[in-house]
Amino acid sequence: MNRAERVVRRIDRFQQRHTVLGFPYAVVQKYGNDQAGARAALVAYYGLFALFPLLLLFTTILGWVLHNHEGLRNTIINSALANFPVIGPQLKQNVHSIEGSGLTLVIGIFGTLYGGLGVVQAAQVAMNSVWNIPYVTWPNFFMRRIRGLAVAAVLGLAIMVSATLGILATSVVHGHAAQVVLFLGSAAISFGVFLSAFVVLTAEPLGWHDVWLGALLATVFWMVLQLIGGWYVGRALSRASPVYGTLALVIALLSWLFIGVQTTLFAAEINVVRNHRLWPRSMVQPPLTDADKRTFDRLARMEVRRPEVGVKVFFHDIADIDPLDTEAGATGRPGGGTGAESGVGLPGAPSRPARPARWPEDPGAPDAAPARARRGRSQATEAYPPVPGGPGTAADDGGVARSS
């Protein structure tokens, strides 16, 4: 082991012993394990194309309900577009009510709604992936649409409540007091939206106590994004306009949406890591921590797509070997030695085997077949989902087996 690796491993041990460092690192690790960045990009992409249809539908419904109250209708629309810094007025210029009568209007509304719900479907995929829910238990086509409609209804209700709050706040209080009331009210509404979305968009049965922390942090992220959004979007527009012209608006909007979705998925990852205690994670492997094993176990079981299919998870002996321990045992002092691996453990501790030259499952290795046989007896865990009448689980810690 060279000096640089030794230093990194000691830093790794330090962060594993301190939750204030280990928990955030575990969240970042899991965000990468779940490929949440790619999920965020997909949600932002669908969000860009769903934004105009949903605003179109929203404007049409308001036109029906408030056809004799044009001032109130404009106030509500402006409140909704205020969530998009700098580009809100430009969006308003391109959003109009759906026109027509009878069957044509109904078809137009349903077509717009179907197109706008694409972002909600992408959000469901992202949330189920963050929670590592097996594909076999994901909602079917119709249930996904019902969940999407529920989230869209929550968003619409939130916009209405926000606009009503704005009207009441400006009519009762004035000046800085009105701004404070609007800010606190907007934060409370955003918290309710995130709380509901985290529960509804996830196929796993969750309670409010499972998602409240992530919803609170997502609200904080969203409010901060609102505050700095004007600066960020304006900066993006100024840089992109000379090159992309009118497309700069699309680029700025897509970038803003992507940042918003990323922070929301980070908040969702915090819920998962906290509820399933997926920390501390290791920076350098081996060894794997128990949280590492639980995370990889969840990732493997997520791939189950049919009730007839099972997945077994096992870990090799090398997953428990810490080179710092073997090095210290070889030299008789902590952190010493020449860096060569040894099978000698710490004084008083059971000896650890040296790193094998080849993995046991290597088809060319002479011990491949015996290793697979031993693996099937002692290292495998029960497949997901459990097979009626099948063998019992080989591990009691959530299905993660430690190699013998």
User: What is the per-residue pLDDT across 43-53, written as a single tens digit (0 to 9) for each?
Assistant: 998 888 777 77
- Average pLDDT of the segment spanning 96-118: 64
How crowded is residue 308: how many other Cβ atoms within 10 Å of its Cβ? 9
Q: What is the pTM of this model?
A: 0.73
More confident residue, 198 or 363: 198
Q: Provide the pLDDT confidence category of residue 330 given band limits of 50, 70 and 90.
A: low
Give which of 112, 54, 85, 96 is closest to 228, Cα–Cα.
85
Gap between the Cα atoms of 5 and 7, Å rounded: 5
State yes or no: pLDDT of 99 exceeds 70.
no
How crowded is residue 271: how many other Cβ atoms within 10 Å of its Cβ? 24
**Residues 161 and 211 sit within 8 Å (Cβ to Cβ):** no
N-terminal to C-terminal alpha carbon distance within the chain = 25
Per-residue H/E/C for 351-373: CCCCCCCCCCCCCCCCCHHHHHH
- Average pLDDT of the segment spanning 149-178: 73
Q: In the prediction, which pLDDT does 248 show?
A: 72
Q: In the prediction, which pLDDT does 269 show?
A: 97
Q: Which of 15-29, 154-168, 347-361 has the highest mean pLDDT?
A: 15-29
State yes or no: pLDDT of 181 exceeds 70.
yes
pLDDT tens-place string over residues 349-377: 333 344 443 344 444 444 444 444 444 43
Tell me how far the alpha carbon of residue 42 is from its chain's centroid: 12
pLDDT tens-place string over residues 226-269: 777 667 666 666 666 666 666 777 777 788 889 999 999 999 99
Q: In the prediction, which pLDDT does 252 show?
A: 76
Q: Provide the pLDDT confidence category of residue 97 given band limits of 50, 70 and 90.
A: low
- Average pLDDT of the segment spanning 64-73: 68
User: What single-letter DSSP state applies at residue 401?
Assistant: P
- Average pLDDT of the segment spanning 51-79: 68
Residue given tokens 């002996």 in the structure block: 317
Q: Provide the pLDDT confidence category of residue 270 given band limits of 50, 70 and 90.
A: very high
State yes or no: pLDDT of 70 exceeds 60.
yes
Mean pLDDT of the chain: 74
Burial class (CB in 10 A: 0-12, 13-18, 19+), 31: buried
Tokens at 270, concatenated: 């915090």
Gap between the Cα atoms of 23 and 289, Å rounded: 13
- Average pLDDT of the segment spanning 196-225: 93
User: What single-letter DSSP state applies at residue 393?
Assistant: P
Q: In the prediction, which pLDDT does 227 show?
A: 78
**Residues 237 and 255 sit within 8 Å (Cβ to Cβ):** no
- Average pLDDT of the segment spanning 144-170: 77
What are the domain boundaries of the chain?
34-276, 288-379
Give which of 106, 115, 132 is closest to 46, Cα–Cα.
115
Q: In the prediction, which pLDDT does 302 show?
A: 94
Q: In the prediction, which pLDDT does 153 show?
A: 82
Q: In the prediction, which pLDDT does 381 show?
A: 43
Q: In the prediction, which pLDDT does 329 show?
A: 62
Q: In the prediction, which pLDDT does 365 show?
A: 40
More confident residue, 70 or 370: 70
State yes or no: pLDDT of 117 exceeds 70.
yes
Q: In the prediction, which pLDDT does 19 show?
A: 93
More confident residue, 350 or 278: 278
Backbone angles phi, psi at 270, to 5 degrees: -60, -40
Helices (H) and strands (E) in the chain, counts: 14, 0
Q: In the prediction, which pLDDT does 32 show?
A: 95
Give Cα separations from 382 to 99, 129, 289, 297, 389 (angstroms): 58, 22, 20, 11, 12
Residue given tokens 């000691």 in the structure block: 10
